[in-house]
Structure formats: structure tokens, C-alpha cells
Amino acid sequence: MILPLAFLTGCGRGSSPNDKTLVTVADKSITVKDFKNKFSKLPRHYQAVAEKNKKNLLDDMIVESLFLEDAIRKGIDKDKEIQDILVEARKKIIIAKFVKTEVDDKVKVSGDEMKAFYEEHKDGFKTPGMWRASHILLASEGEAKDVLAELSKGVNFEDIARARSIDATSSRGGDVGYFRQGQVVPEFESACLGLNAGQTSSIVRTQFGYHIIKLTDKKSEELEPYESAKPKIENELKLKKRNELFDKLVVSLKEKYRVRVEPGAIKALEAK
């Protein structure tokens, strides 16, 4: 009875694949579990790289272990500067965990709250109207009239823009791209507002010269759908609630631990 029991007990120890030693540095082992822990703490984009070349990650762990081992043997961990840094790091880690527990983990935003916020702030989720235009820029009114005459005969707008426009957009057939109100000079904008998509303007004079403008596309103001806006709303509400909870926590702790700023404290700090 003793032998089978001993056998079963022995099988239960060190049988986990995670306990398997991968590398030994001095008398310390790097196990499969150590490797997995290291891997899990990598940023997601680095995990994708490490997944394809696990040897490199293991090599990094070996180098890290070598440096740490030699540094400790040389007493660097006892250095006062290191000790001060460790004290500060410990404080920051504890505080971060405290804030996460007392503030971050308590921030909840319901679907009803998000929906109400969307309804109350719809103007903030509107995509403004946009226009897209092409133009032919000329140095004189006479040249502009000649181009209008050519266009009236059915000559292609883009071809004339490439051949005659003095603007940098000539290489792309005069295409200005999309723009909103206020993004182009007033005279140019006014002409576009009076056109339908596909229409061409008469001669438009601006500080740059004489334009003939063709409106190529027009996008009306649109309201962003709730489902699309939902992540932004959730983030905004969570941030607001987090700030409120944080401030409330600070106030309550000041009362709990009877914080008292001594008279003249700030003046003492400002003194030379």
C-alpha cells in the first residue's frame, strides 16, 4: 500500500508543463511559466512579433537575468539611489492600485445615460456639409473668357485645367478636393454654394486671379448614428464620472485624515 501511494504522490509533483525549466542562469531557473508571464505582459503589437520568434524573447530573458544576477552580486541593489527609486516606485504602484480600486473600477455608464447624452448633444455629432470642386485659374479676365468659350464647345474641363491653369492643382485636372465653409477664400466659396454638382461657374475673381469653377460633389450635413458615436460617448461620460469620483475621494480622505495646511506654508516654500 505504501509503494503505490508514494508513486501517486511523486506523480503529482512537478508534473505541470509550466514548471519545466527552459534555461538555468547561475542557480536560478527560467521556466515555461516565467516565459508565459513575460509574454503576457508585452504590448499586443509586440506579442505578435514574439509569437513568430520566441527564441528572441527567451534570449532577452537570459540577458535580463544575467544583468540582474551580476548587479545583485556587485551590491548595486544596495545603492542608496536605487533604494530611493524603489521606495518611490513602490508608492506609485500602491497608489495606482488604490485609485483603480476606489475610482476606476467603480466608474459605470449605462446605456440609458449614453442615449440621453446623445439626444442632448446631437449638434456635437453632426458632420458639417462639404463641397468638392475643380477650378481653372488664369492670370487675366481675357484668358478666362477664352476658356469659357472652349468649355461651351464641349472641351473637357480637366483637360483645359491641365493645359492652361496656373494653379498647382493643374496636374490633377484642377481638383481642389473636399472643403468646408470657411476653408477657402470667400469669393470661391460663394460661387460653390450657388452651384449644383456638375455645374460650372462663370468667371470668379479672387486675390489669386480669375477662376472658372466646377462643383464636382456636394455632401449635406449628416448626423452621426448613435451606434457609431457610442464609444466616444462612453469614454466622455466615464472620464467625467472618474474625475468626479476622484475629487470626491480626495475630499473625503482630507476630512478622514484631518489635513491641515499650516499658515505661511506657501510663503515658506517661496522664500529663498
Q: What is the pLDDT along the chain (272 residues), one digit of tens a residue?
A: 344 433 344 444 556 888 999 999 999 999 999 999 999 999 988 999 999 999 999 999 999 999 999 999 999 999 999 999 999 999 999 999 999 999 999 999 999 999 999 999 999 998 889 999 999 999 999 999 999 999 999 999 999 999 999 999 999 999 999 999 999 999 999 999 999 999 999 999 999 999 999 999 999 889 999 999 999 999 999 999 999 999 999 999 999 999 999 888 888 888 76
Residue 210 bridge partners (DSSP): 138, 205
Grid coordinates given for 68: 540582474
Q: Could you give the 3-state DSSP secondary structure of residue 104?
A: helix
Q: How far is CA 263 from the centre of its chain?
A: 44
Has this prediction a pTM greater than 0.75?
no
Closest CA to 170 of 218, 141, 209: 209
**Block residue for cell numbers 520566441:** 54
Helix (H) or strand (E) holding 138: strand 130-138
**How many Å apart are CA 52 and CA 58, to the nearest integer?**
12
Q: Where are the domains of the chain?
A: 17-74, 109-119+224-270, 129-220
- Assigned CATH for 129-220: 3.10.50.40
Grid coordinates given for 33: 511559466
Total residues belonging to the chain = 272
Helix (H) or strand (E) holding 126: strand 126-127
